[in-house]
Structure 1
Amino acid sequence: MQGHAAEARVTAPPPPSEAELIQQVKKGNQQAFAQLYQQHIKRVYALCLRLAADTTQAEDVSQEVFVQLWQKIHSFDGKAQFSTWLHRVTSNIAISHLRKQKNWLQRVVSSEEQGMEHEQVAQCQELNGLDKLIVRLPERARQVFVLHAVEGYRHEEIAKIMNMAVGSSKSQYHRARGLLKEWYEHE
């Protein structure tokens, strides 16, 4: 009897692949969606936190990403890796969310906006190293830097996503790099 129990444990089916989970989610399987959520929430939240520099907004945007994912999973065609597609969706939702904020235009115009204050960064245990410096960047510079340097978007794509000129994207990126270099040297 004990030998059969050991065999049963050994022959248990492997967990479903990501592709299998996606197919199950497309059929409305909530358990598969929960597994997909668990596999990707940390990366989605990290991207949202880098873009928003605010833990509450990052949580809200992360939640919105997964609501949209549930509703629009059928648009994933499998031509790209799921994680690549999800990060593009996350970036677009995060930028859109930030645009909708009441004071978004005012924050964009104010070049002195410095993201999270030092005290907020110190309290945010999800961040370390470069991320602690990134969230201190002015909002536009931070968003461009994250999209270009971290997520690999081209300046032409960033300009389209953020509704700005390509030159502005490049300028914000170089501004962010300069500030990060300066802060890194003084930390």
Structure 2
Amino acid sequence: MQAAQAREKRTRPPQPAPDTARLVRRAQAGDRDAFGELYRLHVDRVFALCLRLTADRDTASLLTQDAFVRAWRNIASFRGESRLLTWLHRVAVNVVLDHRRDERRRLDRQIDLGDGGDPERHAAVPPSPVGTRRDLERAIAGLPAGARTIFTLHEIEGYRMREIAEMAGVAVGTVKAQLHRARRLLREVLT
């Protein structure tokens, strides 16, 4: 009997906290104040994710706002099968990936027009002594954008390779290659 209950408990989706669930329902009904409260509860975590993915505070701030605008527009699609924060993270990751695609297109147009855009804008981080969290954060920030995104989603946020591939619209093999590249570059910088 206990095994069946434990199995059932593991297969049920996590239930949001009662206050969050109530706020989500109100926001889905169009209540801007309820969504504002959800924003206040989660903005710091979403910003932290955007910052880790972009390594730029200004860009992260703009993309955080874009993520919440997109979340407001799509709150009705939130079905509660995961925690709201998980859903918001997915929205934010999609916003960051869209931004990165737009930037790549803009750079490609500049290069095609002879404006001399530099596709590898992230120079390698100079080596520093191993041991501090700040060293690791600097090294991650110095990774090329694609490798940084994959590394952050997999190693820090805990997404599976298949999930990352779906979010990024690439093959799982590409995710594995980018993750391997990120780890290799980090080893080079940190040792």
TM range (shorter): 0.7 to 0.9
> What TM-score results when the alignment is normalised by the length of structure 1?
0.74
CA displacement, residues 12-46 of structure 1 (integer Å, 9 cap, x when unaligned): xxxx7111111111122222212111111111111
- Once the two structures are superposed, the pairs formed by residues 102-113 of structure 1 within 5 Å of their partners are 102-103=106-107, 110=119, 112-113=120-121
Partners of 1:56 and 1:116 lie apart in 2 by: 21
> In the superposition, relative to structure 1, how do residues 104 and 145 fare at CA in structure 2: closer, same or farther (>3 Å)?
farther
Aligned to 1:114: 122
Q: What is aligned with 1:4?
A: none
- Conserved 8 A contact 1:115-1:135: no
What does 1:37-116 align with in structure 2 at a 5 Å threshold? 37-101=39-103, 102-103=106-107, 110=119, 112-114=120-122
Q: TM-score normalised to the size of structure 2?
A: 0.72
The partner residue of 1:175 within 172, 177, 181 is 181
Please name the residue that 2:30 is paired with: 28
1:5 paired residue number: none
Moved over 6 A (4+): 115-118
Q: SS at the partner of 2:45?
A: helix
Q: 1:74 to 1:67 in 2, by over 3 A?
A: same
One-letter amino acid of the counterpart of residue 122, structure 2: Q
Report the equivalent of 2:115.
none
* Residues 1:116 and 1:44: Cα distance change in structure 2 (over 3 Å): farther
SS, match of residue 83 in structure 1 = helix
Q: 1:17 to 1:158 in 2, by over 3 A?
A: same
CA contact (8 A) 1:95 1:162 kept: yes
Contact 2:125 2:139 in 1 (8 A): no
Unaligned runs of 5+ in 1: 1-15, 119-126
Q: How does 1:133-172 map to 2 (within 5 A)?
A: 133-172=139-178
In 2: Cα distance, 1:160 partner to 1:129 partner: 30
- Work out the CA distance in 2 between the residues paired with 1:33 and 1:98: 27
Amino acid at match of 2:51: L
The gaps in structure 2 that reach 5 residues or longer are 1-17, 112-117, 127-132
Structure 1 CA distance for aligned equivalents of residues 135 and 144 of structure 2: 18
